[in-house]
Chain A
Amino acid sequence: MTELQKTTAAAAPGSAPSSDPFLSVRDLRIHFDTDDGLVRSVDGVSFDLHKGRTLGIVGESGSGKSVTSLGIMGLHRSKRARISGEIRLDGEDLITAGPDRVRQLRGRQMAMIFQDPLTAMHPYYTVGQQIVEAYRVHHPEANKKQARTRAIEMLDRVGIPQPDRRVDDYPHQFSGGMRQRAMIAMALVNDPSLLIADEPTTALDVTVQAQILDLIRDLQDEFGSAVIIITHDLGVVAELADDILVMYGGKCVERGPAETLFDAPEHPYTWGLLGSMPRLDRELQDRLVPVKGTPPSLINVPTGCAFHPRCPYAALTDGRSTGELPVLAEAAPGHFAACHLPADERHRIFAEEIAPRL
């Protein structure tokens, strides 16, 4: 499987530029040794990401999205975490690099925006102090005044009104949307080349969500950084992502350019996700259709295709889905899916049964 993934991954997803990818992940596995057994949170994920491009990682809770991103950032500190594979940031392998080297890259080359900005910011320090701290870690030569000027500049850039006054406010004095803006300012203060946004809009209300997504897009255009958006909300990636990676049970089940993935999704799980997404641009449906069943255990992952217990079409694979691990295969140029259903069958089902209901 590894071999096949490597060959397929060589053809980078999407219409990527010809240069080397800025971030290249190969066969990433992150397992946790627990008392209940080995948790395979991430089990062989590969992708490439170029500067200026946005990758959306989509999946249910527990599909391994956040574990992947924390793995890239080197934030799995538990001794029980076992990480293997390859994470190359600008050519440098982060898994074999020492923890101090990864720490130097953290916040400088790669930065992260977290889900809930209220809990992700320290309640006892002002917003300004926290941005200044982030700046001075990687700019020890800057004095306090320069760092403060930089913090105000960043707050202004992310659209905080009166930044020279709000810089001295504490996080609890900010509204939810402003807090997330401040988080973004803190993440971008060192001009990182890779920005990972882990569910950046989940804790916000809908109108603010749109503003934050706009902001991330604008900033990406301005700084030309590579962005990973992690979300369970396909609407968010539809807004932002160039490429989409769908994760299920710690594995990538489908990956491809955003347009083809939305227009011609190949994997039954992706169909399910699309069916459960509210659409304003379509006629009102009776009700949204959830994906039946519950996410798989990551300790006793179902044999064969991890999705088969929930897949309505598993019976059409002559039993392969229960016994054989599906591999990512190219279904269309740059578009990969890991499914045992024959391609013709898949396209027929999608056209006849799924598309009319979306």
Chain B
Amino acid sequence: MFAYIIRRIFAAVILLLVVSAVTFAIFFLLPRFAGETADQLAAQYIGKNPSPEAIAAVKQNLGLDQPLYAQYWNFLKGLVSGAEYKFGPEPATCHVPCFGYSFKNHLEVWPELSKRIPITVSLAAGAAVLWLVSGVATGVVSALKPRSIFDRISMGVALAGVSLPVFFTGALLLTLFSYEWPILDNLQYVDFTDNPLMWARNLILPWISLAFLYSALYARLTRAGMLETMSEDYIRTARAKGLVERKVVTRHGLRAALTPIVTIFGMDLGLLLGGALITEQVFSLQGVGQFAVQAISDNDLPKILGVTLLAAFFIVACNLVVDLLYALVDPRVRLS
């Protein structure tokens, strides 16, 4: 088991390195193929009508005059040990983890980015709890009484949920509950540590609209998984023991049906932590997703690179957790 954990963590680190290399190449190698020079890149840090001396200075200070592999190496070094930039009147320290400087506002990328993380985490985690509970519960009940009225209605709603995008359901919820009946108006993000109640109140609408989409998916997944496991031989064995049906369903059926759900859940959560673009946009939440949208529309390379790596990190990390959980959930994984 211990060796398994070590192996998984090692693989995750390698994966992150590969992702960072590919991302770096996309943002710094591809523009060169497209004909952009280091001068043009450096010019973006300066402003209008840059003097050749200023460009040369920035190039040297940011290491843009070095070959790409050296730049990548410096970038990695900055991530783990920080970096010093000397192009301003005073030398600036870029703290660990250093994702570089923004082209536009001349601020370090990471502090800007990390401010956004709690917002996105709040959004994703709350929605995840909602959709997991409602989705799995609906799926189980539907599977136990297939073709019943409950099954038909909930699967119909689920189909609608999968089909309706967040910018529709979100806007609908906002119209209803913030304008038509202003029960939940003035939705400002409040930090959990400041006021947990306001935090939840102001996030409930985004949670619901995001969870509606996912719980529909999870209900269908759970239903399919439960229908399959409930026809397994070991379910018959459990009944032959004389177990009450409730225990047959939960201890034997659901236990086995949950394994694939755990996998999908990890991936979905990882993806969301990298920014719930549409939900954040609809509800004006200043999360990681909005940061990404802003960075892209500003063509702010260091920011884009930073947010891409952060999203990749969340996905890799969530998958690592899933892998470890899997070993906990399915004993057959442990030994192989």
Residues of A within 8 A of B (CB): 73, 75, 77, 103-108, 111-112, 114, 116, 119-124, 126, 133-134, 137-138, 170, 172-173, 186
Residues of B within 8 A of A (CB): 232-234, 236-244, 251-252, 255-256, 329-332, 335
Contact B233 A119 (CB under 8 A): yes
Contact A114 B241 (CB under 8 A): no
**Nearest chain B CB to A321 CB, angstrom units:** 37
Contact A120 B237 (CB under 8 A): yes
**Nearest chain A CB to B243 CB, angstrom units:** 6
Q: Which of A107, A121, A122, A172 contacts B242 (CB 8 A)?
A: A107
Contact B240 A106 (CB under 8 A): yes
A-B contact pairs, 30 of them (CB 8 A): A73-B240, A75-B236, A75-B240, A103-B242, A103-B244, A107-B240, A107-B241, A107-B242, A108-B242, A114-B233, A114-B237, A114-B240, A116-B233, A119-B232, A119-B233, A121-B237, A122-B238, A122-B255, A123-B234, A123-B330, A123-B331, A123-B332, A124-B256, A124-B330, A133-B251, A134-B241, A137-B242, A137-B243, A172-B332, A186-B237
Contact B241 A120 (CB under 8 A): no
Bound CA–CA A112/B237 (angstroms): 8
Q: In the complex, which residue of chain A has the Cβ closest to the Cβ of B239?
A: A75
**Nearest chain A CB to B330 CB, angstrom units:** 6
Q: A75-B236, A116-B233, A119-B234 are in contact. Are A124 and B241 (CB under 8 A)?
A: no
Listed from nearest, the 3 A-B pairs whose CB atoms lie closest are A107-B242, A119-B233, A106-B242
Please indicate the chain A residues that have their CB under 8 angstroms from the CB of B240 in the complex. Answer: 73, 75, 106-107, 111-112, 114
**Nearest chain B CB to A90 CB, angstrom units:** 16
Contact A138 B242 (CB under 8 A): yes
Most interface-central of B251, B252, B329, B331 (chain A CB within 10 A): B331
Most interface-central of A111, A122, A123 (chain B CB within 10 A): A122
Q: In the complex, which residue of chain B has the Cβ closest to the Cβ of A106?
A: B242
Q: Which of B232, B239, B243 contacts A133 (CB 8 A)?
A: B243
**Nearest chain B CB to A310 CB, angstrom units:** 31
Contact A120 B233 (CB under 8 A): yes
Contact A122 B252 (CB under 8 A): yes
Bound CA–CA A75/B237 (angstroms): 10
Bound CA–CA A138/B242 (angstroms): 8
Please indicate the chain A residues that have their CB under 8 angstroms from the CB of B243 in the complex. Answer: 103, 107, 133, 137
